[in-house]
Chain A
Amino acid sequence: GAGVSQTPSNKVTEKGKYVELRCDPISGHTALYWYRQSLGQGPEFLIYFQGTGAADDSGLPNDRFFAVRPEGSVSTLKIQRTERGDSAVYLCASSLLPPQNTGELFFGEGSRLTVL
């Protein structure tokens, strides 16, 4: 596609439920990133994929959070047993890898998650 696509754009769920957020990166972008942004804050790194594998998952807050990218394109961020503190905008970004990489990340519009 022309840009990074994220679905759903908005998700309201109840505490304790399971949630999946999807990211479709720019075609041909090998690197994919998930960030979380709370209100009034900057994006916080969660996880980064090179192809199908998670190259760096050091930002995942706990084992309730998991992300996959089985075919090296679309990625799904999965949150189990959601808590109210998980409420945030989840941003996905993609980029090329060096030497084609210019350094910039291309972001989607985000998925706003509200846990009641």
Chain B
Amino acid sequence: SQQGEEDPQALSIQEGENATMNCSYKTSINNLQWYRQNSGRGLVHLILIRSNEREKHSGRLRVTLDTSKKSSSLLITASRAADTASYFCATALIQGAQKLVFGQGTRLTINP
């Protein structure tokens, strides 16, 4: 079963704008990760945030985590056409080796 619920399911913005995607989950986690998937391709890891962290940055990506609300957000700043993809949050429910439970994803389209 899917642990994460992502919102919105689809997002279409203009190039240069910021894109924000949200993820909510149900049970306590060790960490939360965001992955990107281009159409017809495998998933690529973007960023990992641990349960004791509140915010993390990587390049144009900013991730926040609110464990009290069981939610996370991914912000992509200054979007580019190449950012068009599906974005998935994934939660690691046990410590150690990562059995990740994925959400349903947000399909992001960046219009040039």
Instruction: List A residues at the B interface (Cβ < 8 Å).
Output: 4, 31, 33, 35, 40-45, 48, 50, 55-56, 91, 93, 95, 97-98, 101-110
Instruction: List B residues at the A interface (Cβ < 8 Å).
Output: 2, 4, 31, 33, 35, 41-45, 48, 88, 90, 92, 96-105
- How many contacting A-B pairs (Cβ < 8 A)? 68
Check B43 against A43 for contact (C-beta < 8 Å): yes
Between B42, B92, B103, B105, the greatest number of chain A beta carbons within 10 A of the residue's beta carbon is seen for: B42
Check B42 against A110 for contact (C-beta < 8 Å): yes
Check A102 against B48 for contact (C-beta < 8 Å): yes
Given known A43-B43, A91-B43, contact A50–B88 (CB-CB < 8 A): no
Using CB atoms, name the residue of chain A closest to B89: A42
Q: How far is the CB of B45 from chain A (nearest CB, A)?
A: 4
In the bound complex, how far is the Cα of B106 from the Cα of A18, in angstroms?
A: 34
Check A31 against B102 for contact (C-beta < 8 Å): no
Check B42 against A103 for contact (C-beta < 8 Å): no
Q: Which residues of B contact A110 (CB under 8 A)?
A: 41-42
Q: Which residues of B contact A103 (CB under 8 A)?
A: 31, 33, 48, 92, 98
